[in-house]
Structure 1
Amino acid sequence: MAYASALLRDPARTYRDIDLAGRTAAADGPALVQLLYEELMQALRVAAWAADRDQYTTKSERVTRATAILFALEANLDFERGGSVSQALARFYAGCRKQVVEAAIGSNGDRFRAVAAELEEIAGAWRQARAA
C-alpha cells in the first residue's frame, strides 16, 4: 500500500526509478560505470537548479544521491589492477565528494555545476573507451 501511495504522489519519479532499475540490470561493468556517471551528473545538475531556487528538499535528495554514487564509484575501484590510475581516481572522487558537501551548505548552484563539469571529462573518456 505504501508503494501505491508513493506512485500516486510522484509518478514521474517512480518512472525514473523503474527506468534506472531496468538500465542497471542490463548493464555490464563498463556500461554500469557510464550509467553511474550519467546519474551523478544529473544529480549534480538538479542540485544546482534546486540550490539556485532555494528548493532545500530537492537539493538535499540530490546531494545524497551524488555522494552515494561517488562512494560507489570509489568503492569499486580495483587497486590491484588499476594501480596509480585507481589511486588517482580515489583521490578525485574524495575531492568531488568534499566539494559537493561544501556546496550543499550554500545556496549557489555554481559549485555543483563545477563538479559536474569536472566529472564530464572522465565520463567522456569512459564513453570513448566503450566506443573503441
Structure 2
Amino acid sequence: MSAYNLNESYDSYRTVDLEARAAAASPYELVLVLFDGLLDELARARGHIEGKRYQQKGQSLEKCLNILGGLNGALDYENGGELVQGLARLYDYCIYRLSDVSVSLSLEGLDEVVGLLGVLRDGWEGVNATRK
C-alpha cells in the first residue's frame, strides 16, 4: 500500500471520528473537537513542510484557516465583551501567521500558532470541566 493510500485511509478515518465526536458534543465539547482537529492538522502541515510536500501543506493550512474562521465567526460579539474581543484578535493573528507560514514555510511561525492555540485549547478544556 502506498503512502498516498495510507494518508487517504487515515483522512477517511479521521473524518468519521470527528463527525461522531461532533454529533455527541455539547457546545463546549464541540469547541474542543474543533481545537483538536485544528492542532492535528497543524501537526500535519508541519510534516508536509518538512517533507517538502507543498500541495498537501497548502491543503492542511487551508483547513486550519477554515477552522479558525469558523471559531472566529461563532464568537458572540454582542454578549462576550472584552473576552470575545481578545479571542477575535488572537484568531485573526493566528490566521495572519498561518497565511505567512504558507508562503515563508516558517516552522517557527507554525510553532508559535500551535503554542497559542494549545493554551486556548487547555483553557476551553478547563471551562468544559467546570460545567460538568
Q: Partners of 1:16 and 1:130 in 2: how far apart?
A: 23
Q: Percent identity?
A: 28
TM-score normalised to structure 1 length: 0.88
Alignment TM-score, normalising by the size of structure 2: 0.88
Find the partner of 1:112 among 110, 113, 118. 110
Structure 2 residue 88 is the aligned partner of structure 1 residue 90: yes
Asked if 1:52 is matched to 2:50, the reply is yes
Asked if the contact 1:51/1:106 (under 8 Å) is kept, the reply is no
The residue identity in structure 2 corresponding to 1:82 is G
Equivalent residues in 2 for 1:21-40, closer than 5 Å: 21-40=19-38
**What displacement does 1:63 show?**
0.3
Structure 1: where are the runs of 5+ without partners?
1-6
Q: Deviations over 1:71-94 (max 9, x none)?
A: 000000011221111111111101
Q: What are structure 2's unaligned runs of at least 5 residues?
A: none
Cα separation, 2, equivalents of 1:13 and 1:51: 18
Number of residue equivalences: 126
> Which secondary structure state, in structure 2, belongs to the residue aligned with residue 77 of structure 1?
coil
Q: Which amino acid aligns with 2:8?
A: D
Runs of 4+ in structure 1 displaced over 4 angstroms?
A: none
2:100 paired residue among 102, 105, 109 = 102
8 Å CA contact 1:54–1:107 kept in 2: the answer is no
Match of 2:8 in 1: 10
Query: Residue 62 in 1 paired to residue 68 in 2?
Result: no
Note the aligned Cα RMSD (angstroms).
Answer: 1.7
Q: Secondary structure at the match of 1:112?
A: helix
